[in-house]
Amino acid sequence: MYETWNSLQEACLQCHKCGLCEGRHNVVFGIGVETAEVMFIGEGPGENEDLQGEPFVGRGGQLLDKMLAAVDLSREKNIYIANIVKCRPPQNRDPLPEEQEACIDWLRNQTALIRPKIIVCLGRIAAAKIIKPDIKITKEHGVFFEKNGVVMMATLHPAALLRNPSQKPGAFDDFLKLREKIHELCDHTYEEA
Ligand code: URA
């Protein structure tokens, strides 16, 4: 385990643990507040993220930022955002189980340093890896689970919402539930700066 954020990030940026390193422009380590009580986990970088080195900066990211803002959350202020895999899978395919497994220790180490109270998984891939392998995202989004003392919830992936706008109200409901849960469990997420 890496004890400091800098040593962890430095090592992660050099990673060659799986084949995804070959096509990358940037390792997309993560972004946000390193003491956040709420952590969001996506699947893996897309094209824009690979080029810019930051998670969720494409159209899906803009939608995510809007939904976050509606419940007073932002990557600048009070959350941290990371992905299951840190390098872009070719043609945005799902990351393979072996790629997820090769990469997951980086995320484990990030989570160990942040010690979030709530984890929100964005989409099925993250939810299956973090919450439970057989999660049914269409039925179980917005449901809170507890694992190792951390409260977890899955919501629909922003890219899925762009493809299926009719699912947006359901996803927005998840964010409202999240806001309630934050009020219940968190100490400084909604504190004024
Ligand atoms: N989709 C993800 O799951 N993560 C990103 O960072 C961008 C798109």
Return the pLDDT at 191. 87
User: Ligand 1 centre from 45 Cα, in Å?
Assistant: 5
Task: Retrieve residue 73's tokens.
Answer: 């959350």
The dihedral built from the CA positions of residue 147, 148, 149 and 150, taken in this order, carries a sign that is negative
- Atom 6, ligand 1: which residue's CA is nearest? 55
**113, 114, 89, 123: which is closest to 103 by C-alpha?**
89
Q: State the Cα–Cα distance between residues 91 and 176, nearest whole angstrom.
A: 33
Considering the domain delimited by 5-184, tell me its CATH architecture: 3-Layer(aba) Sandwich (3.40)
**pLDDT block averages, 10 residues each, the chain of length 193:** 96 98 98 98 98 98 98 98 98 97 98 98 98 98 97 98 98 98 97 71
In one letter, which amino acid is 31? I
Tally the residues of the chain.
Answer: 193
Q: Measured from the CB, is residue 55 less than 6 Å from ligand 1?
A: yes
Return the pLDDT at 98. 98
Give the ligand 1 atom nearest the CA of 125.
Answer: 3
Domain ranges in the chain are 5-184
**99, 107, 93, 110: which is closest to 47 by C-alpha?**
93
Helices (H), 14-120: 47-52, 59-70, 97-114
Return the pLDDT at 193. 56
pTM of the model: 0.98
SS3 letters across 140-158: HCCCEEEECCEEEEEECCH
